[in-house]
């Protein structure tokens, strides 16, 4: 193991002036030890490569790993950044940071688009979040959790206003209600029974037209409903698979007055 580490440093000393090392050094703030991990992180499934055995490879495994490392790092950062906040607040704030739209934006802001272009790859905006997660996975494998945490923390400090996000009064239960009324959709919240008798968490499932659209877990029923509503609301885009399933199962329209009464009843608990 020690010999392997030494060989990595020797390879680094001989190669650090090559373009890939400079590009990643500018992005990360440190030189990669295993450059191939970072190059692999830039390859999504439509821009795959071949390994030495001729097998097709892409960044999906690194993305899977990076997703878990990112959530852990963000949880750690928020826990220490807001020492007096409850779990529900931290959970909602974390979900806003790690949502796909935010990660896509951060990927662009740190220059993943430029790095991809320099590597001869063309990436649409909506996959830069995946690339960012894969990059974090590469950092974790190459340098360990400490470097991955420092990288995530530096991104949040430079590009995310945690104070502003934490003060946003985004009531997703109300937003979902307005959407349902406008689109004549029915929805309901169901309290899911936790199998652990010692658990003090509430688990709420949100159904739109009898389709499971979101799940929320928190220390109060209200916060759990809010999380479930936020999860569902963010999926309510025309091309999302959830919308196709909801449309397929949409029940016959009810009289307008009755529909309004049901919607209002759902949000008063």
Domain count, the chain: 2
CB 44 within 8 A of CB 130: yes
**Would residue 4 count as lying in a domain?**
no
Q: Are residues 153 and 205 in the same domain?
A: no
Residue 67 bears catalytic tag: yes
> What pLDDT does 264 receive?
36
> What pLDDT does 116 receive?
60
Find the CATH number of the domain harbouring 117: 1.10.1520.10
H/E stretch holding 204: strand 202-208
pTM reported for the whole predicted model: 0.59
Strand ranges for the chain from DSSP E: 49-50, 56-57, 187-192, 202-208, 211-218
* pLDDT over 90 at 63, yes or no: yes
Residue at a domain's end among 167, 201, 227:
167
Q: Catalytic pick from 133, 142, 223, 230?
A: 133
Higher per-residue confidence, 17 vs 250: 250
Residue at a domain's end among 167, 193, 208:
167
Of residues 203, 209, 243, the one with CA closest to residue 225: 203
What average pLDDT does the segment 152-178 reach? Answer: 81
Q: Are residues 57 and 176 in the same domain?
A: no
Q: In the block, which residue shows the tokens 């990660």?
A: 103
> What pLDDT does 147 receive?
96
Residue at a domain's end among 167, 184, 206:
167
pLDDT, one tens digit per residue, over 196-238 is: 555 567 889 999 998 999 998 877 788 788 888 988 988 888 8
Q: Are residues 89 and 107 in the same domain?
A: yes
Residue 133 bears catalytic tag: yes
Q: Catalytic pick from 53, 60, 63, 67?
A: 67
The whole domain housing 224 covers: 172-266
Confidence of residue 40 (pLDDT cuts 50, 70, 90): confident
List 215's β-bridge partners, or say none: 205
């Amino acid at each position: 193991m020690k010999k392997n580490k030494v060989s990595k440093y020797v390879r680094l000393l001989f190669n650090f002036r090559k373009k890939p090392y400079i590009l990643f050094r500018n992005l990360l703030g440190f030189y990669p030890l295993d450059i191939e991990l970072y190059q692999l992180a830039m390859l999504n499934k439509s821009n795959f490569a071949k390994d030495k055995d001729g097998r097709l490879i892409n960044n999906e495994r690194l993305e899977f790993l990076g997703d878990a490392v990112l959530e852990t790092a963000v949880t750690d950062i928020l826990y220490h950044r807001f020492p007096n906040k409850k779990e529900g607040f931290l959970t909602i704030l974390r979900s806003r940071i790690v949502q796909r739209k935010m990660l896509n934006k951060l990927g662009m802001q740190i220059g993943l688009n430029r790095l991809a272009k320099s590597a001869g790859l063309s990436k649409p905006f909506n996959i830069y979040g995946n690339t960012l997660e894969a990059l974090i996975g590469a950092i974790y494998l190459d340098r360990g959790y400490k470097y991955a945490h420092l990288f995530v923390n530096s991104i949040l400090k430079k590009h995310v206003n945690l104070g502003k996000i934490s003060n946003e009064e985004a009531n997703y239960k109300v937003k979902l209600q307005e959407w349902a009324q406008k689109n004549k959709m029915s929805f309901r919240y169901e309290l899911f029974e936790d199998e652990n008798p010692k658990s003090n968490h509430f688990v709420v499932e949100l159904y739109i037209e009898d389709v499971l659209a979101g799940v929320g877990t928190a220390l109060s029923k209200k916060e759990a409903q809010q999380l479930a509503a936020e999860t569902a609301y963010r999926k309510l885009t025309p091309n999302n698979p959830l919308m196709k399933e909801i449309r397929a199962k949409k029940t016959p329209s009810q009289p307008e007055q009755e529909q309004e009464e049901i919607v209002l009843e759902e949000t008063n608990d």
